[in-house]
Amino acid sequence: AQSVAQPEDQVNVAEGNPLTVKCTYSVSGNPYLFWYVQYPNRGLQFLLKYITGDNLVKGSYGFEAEFNKSQTSFHLKKPSALVSDSALYFCAVRDEASGGYNKLIFGAGTRLAVHP
Amino acid sequence: DTGVSQDPRHKITKRGQNVTFRCDPISEHNRLYWYRQTLGQGPEFLTYFQNEAQLEKSRLLSDRFSAERPKGSFSTLEIQRTEQGDSAMYLCASSSDRMNTEAFFGQGTRLTVV
């Protein structure tokens, strides 16, 4: 069965330090992977996606993600964290049976806390 | 274009009442989705529209739930005879039908059933 796992409920990092939010996936074919961010009482905002091509994907607000097929991972990274990056981050994979539309399978989310 | 718009933002209702939520997608998007998010979980897919046609419904969408998109623009999600377990954030998203485009989400409607 297809799935997404975010192994950390919370990640704590000091402002200015690099951050990593982990995501692993399970699909049978080639994955279509996404990262979204959710601020309190808000909807999800798209950060970046991997469809094909370069394994390092750059997205909004200085975030990037590295696709690793052998490890079935798609970790979110940022070289220097900001306090304003504190939010809930979701990794998602597109359902292979969806026929190309955005039926997404989400992980449970990781709360990122950036401390001054 | 102001993105995906949902109304109301919050709804408190008594158990057994019916509620209806509205979603206005990004204007040029012909694909529309509803998701449900409960506390501490990621969003779960409920249903998908291509224009006015409802092409997929999740098993999560019980008989008490109905979604429509009558003119291929805005959509409504109705829950009949609400139960406490229906309390959740209901998220609407839209996307174009170009290959591999991402979905854009609205701010959601938070439903509390008391």
Contact call for residues B7 and B21 (beta carbons, < 8 A) = yes
Mutation pick from B39, B47, B60, B102 vs chain A, by most beta carbons of A within 10 Å, is: B102
Please indicate if any CB of chain B lies within 8 Å of the CB of A32: yes
The per-residue pLDDT for A43 is 84
Q: How far is A16 from chain B (nearest CA, A)?
A: 28
Q: Is the pLDDT of residue B97 over 90?
A: no
Coil/strand/helix, residue A8: coil
At residue A49, does pLDDT exceed 80?
yes
Q: How does pLDDT run across A12-33, given as a tens digit for each residue?
A: 999 999 999 999 999 988 899 9
pLDDT digits (tens, 9 = 90+) for B23-71: 999 998 999 999 999 998 999 999 999 999 999 999 988 999 999 999 8
pLDDT above 80 (res A85) = yes
Best A9, A35, A89, A104 residue to mutate vs chain B (most B CBs within 10 Å)? A104
Residue B85, sorted as left (phi over 0), alpha (psi -120 to 50) or beta, turns out to be alpha
The pLDDT confidence band at residue B99, using thresholds 50, 70 and 90, is: confident
- Give the integer Cα–Cα distance in Å for B57 and B51: 15
Q: Which of B89, B67, B64, B91 is nearest to B79 (CA)?
A: B64
Q: What is the pLDDT of residue A13?
A: 98
Q: What is the pLDDT of residue A41?
A: 75
Give yes or no for residue B1 having a pLDDT over 80.
no
Residue A2 or A36, more confident: A36
Q: What is the pLDDT of residues A63-81, one digit of tens each?
A: 999 999 999 999 999 999 9
Q: What is the C-alpha radius of gyration for chain A, rounded to an integer number of angstroms?
A: 14
Output phi, psi for A75, to 5 deg: -80, 140
A-chain residues near B95 (CB < 8 A): 101-102
Q: For residue B18, what pLDDT is reported?
A: 98
Report whether pLDDT(A100) > 70. Answer: yes
> Cα angle at A35 between A61 and A56, to 5 degrees?
75
Q: How confident is the model at residue A96 (pLDDT cuts 50, 70, 90)?
A: confident
- H or E stretch at A47: strand A44-50
pLDDT computed for residue A60 by the predictor: 93
